[in-house]
């Protein structure tokens, strides 16, 4: 059966669909139309210049490799870009793909033919430390990681580590939290900053899943000692998603040996997990005890102001802009994780480009239907007051009274802090709900809560638990 542009593109889509997230596939790949196949060159049509630039920035490697799988190593991709020519109708112009980006094989989950495959470092005799690729994403840096109450401890610990890897009290650093909150970004930012400050340090980022697969391969080849020796060469080892070690007993044994050697040699370990050490089931106790040697820092969902800052930073970095009221609408309505927050922003821009419409709140409402739960309940000051009173077993009327009792004062301050974070009410309105207090009292209360969270671990736990309760109450 002869190859056609349609058949080649459909085969590419089958692969791409299994790799990218569903929403991104719908946004960036479904609008593409195959136009023509000439020898080893596939011409595809995209809706706009913005669309073309986004594909080239984020998916050029994926497109190139899937196409090479279909048409061979000499395959090339070209774009036909739709142009709005006003009253004269639409026109087009063609551009080749750049194909200039470095391809990271760790990002792929299927076998592809790679022109110049990197040899497995474990089987290179006399491997030198300078030959080890860090496997870091250069875009994951501290400058693009917005600091807020949700991540301040972890981020500042990460900066300290980068300045003095292995020579600090945060060894290991275990960053934990739910998916999409920036664990991988922060961990790799530590690696990139370390390389910048200490270019002679050998940094390696690896996922736990890849570590386990590598261990199993070397176990089958009776080369476990080579495997362990390789990891003992590293100065800063970053292991992502250590919760996947659960029930992988032999891999845990190997990691235990590596951990001990690196720690005793003054090398740095940075780990990420979706759970705190006390909640990691299926892990050897000797490993868990070592995880507790350093600092365990959790990441929470950013508050409203931080979410706005994240969106504004992404716009600056990507070179686009959205009206302020749209940014506020997105930040207020997406409060699950940062990945979904950024995904909503990208989809909004894509829809604007595809439909040639100005981005406004009405368009944002339509686009965000795919991201926002329609059954979300509104969070009120009254509901937060009730929740905090129940949590601390404090009578509601006590919150409104003038008293210096520590437990009452702190309960009131936490309630004001949560009201500011989760409601649209002004500071004046919040104060009025607490016996007619003014806005300066609310500001003071919020700052006091932030300060205590930095210095009092028990207080911080209480606030984090109440924050989760408030979030769950809206679902």
Q: Which two tokens stand for residue 199?
A: 């270019």
Choose the weakest-confidence range: 6-10, 110-114, 319-323, 399-403: 110-114
Q: Which two tokens stand for residue 293?
A: 């040697």
Q: Are 61 and 39 within one domain?
A: yes
Is residue 116 situated within a structural domain?
A: no
If pLDDT is split at 50, 70 and 90, which confidence band does 237 have?
A: very high
Distance from C-alpha of 324 to C-alpha of 217, rounded to nearest angstrom: 52
Q: Are 351 and 468 within one domain?
A: no
Question: Count of domains in the chain?
Answer: 4
Domain boundary among 252, 267, 298: 298
Does residue 390 carry a pLDDT above 50?
yes
Pick 25 or 370 by higher pLDDT. Answer: 25
**Residue 186: per-residue pLDDT:** 93
Distance from C-alpha of 48 to C-alpha of 452, rounded to nearest angstrom: 51
Is residue 139 situated within a structural domain?
A: yes
SS3 category, 7 = helix
Q: Angle between the 249-264 and 208-220 helix axes, to the nearest 10 degrees?
A: 110
Is residue 418 situated within a structural domain?
A: yes
Q: What is the mean pLDDT of residues 439-459?
A: 89
CB atoms within 10 A of CB 89: 8
Strand order in the sheet with 173-176: 203-207, 236-240, 268-273, 173-176, 295-298
**Residue 355: per-residue pLDDT:** 64
Is residue 432 situated within a structural domain?
A: yes
Residue by residue, DSSP assigns 424-445 as ---HHHHHHTTTS--HHHHHHH
Q: Are 265 and 337 within one domain?
A: no
Per-residue pLDDT tens for 187-213? 999 999 999 999 888 899 999 999 998
Beta bridge partners of 236: 203, 268
Q: Are 406 and 328 within one domain?
A: no
Q: What is the percent of the chain with per-residue pLDDT over 90, rounded to a whole number?
A: 16
Highest mean pLDDT range out of 43-52, 187-196, 257-266, 322-331?
187-196
Per-residue pLDDT tens for 123-162? 434 445 556 788 898 888 898 888 888 888 889 999 999 9
Strands of 145-273 (E only): list them: 173-176, 203-207, 236-240, 268-273
How remote is the C-alpha of 468 from its chain's centroid? Answer: 19
Domain boundary among 107, 139, 171: 107
Does residue 456 carry a pLDDT above 80?
yes
Does residue 265 carry a pLDDT above 50?
yes
**Given the structure tokens 């362990």, which residue do they identify?**
228
Q: Are 156 and 245 within one domain?
A: yes
* Structural domain span for residue 205: 131-298
CA nearest to 421, candidates 372, 388, 392, 458:
388
Question: What mean pLDDT, rounded, does the chain reach?
Answer: 80
Is residue 120 situated within a structural domain?
A: no
**How big is the chain by its Cα radius of gyration, in Å?**
26
Q: Angle between the 183-197 and 152-163 helix axes, to the nearest 10 degrees?
A: 20
CA nearest to 44, candidates 94, 88, 100:
94
Q: What is the mean pLDDT of residues 208-237?
A: 86
Does residue 222 carry a pLDDT above 50?
yes
Is residue 114 situated within a structural domain?
A: no
**Residue 370: per-residue pLDDT:** 62
Distance from C-alpha of 292 to C-alpha of 128, rounded to nearest angstrom: 32
Is residue 121 situated within a structural domain?
A: no
CATH assignment at residue 308: 1.10.8.60
Q: Are 324 and 417 within one domain?
A: no
This prediction's pTM: 0.54
Is residue 414 situated within a structural domain?
A: yes
**Residue 149: per-residue pLDDT:** 83
Q: Are 320 and 445 within one domain?
A: no
Q: Are 294 and 349 within one domain?
A: no
Q: Which two tokens stand for residue 388?
A: 């905090």
Distance from C-alpha of 123 to C-alpha of 68, rounded to nearest angstrom: 27
Domain boundary among 279, 298, 317: 298
Contact status, residue 350 vs residue 27, Cβ threshold 8 Å: yes
Q: Are 66 and 35 within one domain?
A: yes
CATH assignment at residue 177: 3.40.50.300
Pick 52 or 195 by higher pLDDT. Answer: 195
If pLDDT is split at 50, 70 and 90, which confidence band does 348 have?
A: confident
Q: Give the C-alpha distances (Å, rounded to integers) separating 389 from 129, 371, 437, 448, 452.
A: 58, 32, 18, 19, 19
CATH assignment at residue 437: 1.10.1750.10
- 241 Cβ contact partners less than 8 Å away, ≥ 6 residues apart: 207, 208, 209, 272, 273, 274
Q: Are 216 and 330 within one domain?
A: no
Q: Are 11 and 88 within one domain?
A: yes
Per-residue pLDDT tens for 84-132? 444 344 454 555 554 433 333 233 232 222 233 333 444 434 445 556 7
Q: Are 135 and 275 within one domain?
A: yes
CB atoms within 10 A of CB 214: 18
CATH assignment at residue 60: 3.30.300.180
């Amino acid at each position: 059966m002869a190859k056609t542009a349609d058949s080649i593109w459909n085969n590419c889509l089958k692969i791409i669909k299994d790799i990218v997230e569903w929403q991104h596939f719908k946004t960036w790949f479904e609008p593409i139309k195959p136009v023509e196949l000439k020898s080893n060159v596939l011409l595809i049509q995209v809706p706009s210049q913005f669309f073309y630039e986004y594909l080239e920035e984020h998916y050029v490697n994926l497109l190139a490799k899937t196409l090479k799988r279909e048409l061979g190593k000499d395959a090339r991709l070209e774009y036909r870009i739709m142009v709005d020519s006003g009253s004269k109708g639409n026109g087009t112009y063609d551009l080749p793909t750049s194909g200039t980006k470095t391809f990271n094989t760790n990002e792929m989950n299927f076998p592809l033919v790679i022109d110049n495959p990197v040899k497995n470092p474990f089987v290179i005799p006399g491997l030198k430390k300078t030959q080890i690729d860090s496997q870091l994403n250069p875009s994951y840096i501290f400058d693009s990681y917005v600091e807020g109450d949700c991540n301040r401890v972890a981020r500042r610990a990460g900066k300290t580590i980068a300045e003095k890897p292995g020579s600090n009290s945060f060894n290991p650093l275990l960053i934990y939290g739910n998916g999409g909150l920036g664990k991988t970004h922060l961990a790799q930012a530590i690696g990139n900053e370390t390389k910048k400050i200490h270019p002679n340090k050998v940094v390696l980022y690896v996922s736990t899943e890849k570590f386990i697969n590598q261990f199993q391969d070397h176990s089958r080849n009776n080369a476990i000692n080579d495997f362990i020796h390789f990891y003992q060469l590293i100065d800063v080892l970053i292991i992502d998603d250590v919760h996947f070690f659960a029930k992988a007993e032999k891999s845990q044994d190997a990691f235990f040996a590596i951990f001990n050697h690196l720690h005793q040699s003054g090398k740095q370990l940075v780990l990420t997990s979706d759970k705190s050490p006390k909640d990691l089931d299926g892990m050897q106790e000797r490993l868990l005890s070592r995880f507790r040697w350093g600092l365990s820092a959790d990441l929470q969902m950013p508050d409203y102001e931080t979410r706005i800052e994240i969106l504004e930073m992404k716009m600056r970095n990507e070179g686009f802009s959205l009206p302020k009221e749209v940014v506020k609408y997105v930040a207020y309505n997406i409060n699950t994780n940062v990945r979904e927050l950024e995904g909503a922003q990208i989809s909004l821009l894509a829809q604007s480009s595809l439909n040639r419409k100005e981005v406004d709140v009405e368009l944002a409402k339509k686009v965000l239907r795919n991201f926002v739960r329609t059954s979300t309940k509104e969070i009120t000051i009254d509901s937060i007051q009730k929740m905090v009173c129940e949590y601390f077993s404090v009578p509601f009327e006590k919150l409104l009274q003038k008293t210096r009792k520590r437990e009452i004062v702190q309960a009131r301050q936490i309630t004001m802090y949560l009201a500011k974070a989760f409601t649209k009410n002004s500071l004046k309105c919040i104060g009025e709900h607490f016996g007619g207090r003014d806005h300066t009292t609310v500001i003071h209360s919020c700052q006091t809560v932030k300060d205590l969270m930095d210095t009092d671990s028990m207080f911080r736990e209480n606030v984090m638990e109440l924050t989760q309760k408030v979030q769950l109450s809206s679902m």
